Amino acid sequence: MISITRVDTTGDLRYCKVYLSVLGEVNEKEFAKGLKSAAPWLRRELGGALSLRYTPELTFVLDKSIEHGAYISGLLEKLELPEEPEDTEEDET
């Protein structure tokens, strides 16, 4: 499964950097090669769907932030934290 996590464009909308996250293991070189070969088709489709003077040139970046977040979350779940003692003191007034 592929998710778009972020898109950055230049001010004139001529260039667009698309950050993608992939669920599961993937060969990064093959993934980048496939996206690079699909970029002209995607750009044509984007140009047909948008009313812009220029269709942005697409650049794809593999984003590992979701994978990294899942790793950190797994580490936090494995932590064995001591339980906090309950406050048994009563206010003396």
State residue 92 phi and psi, 5-degree precision.
-95, 120
pTM, two decimal places:
0.68
Closest CA to 58 of 74, 48, 44: 44
The Cα 43–Cα 67 span in angstroms is: 27
| pLDDT, tens only, 43-57 | 999 999 988 888 999
pLDDT digits (tens, 9 = 90+) for 32-45: 889 899 999 999 99
pLDDT recorded at residue 43: 93
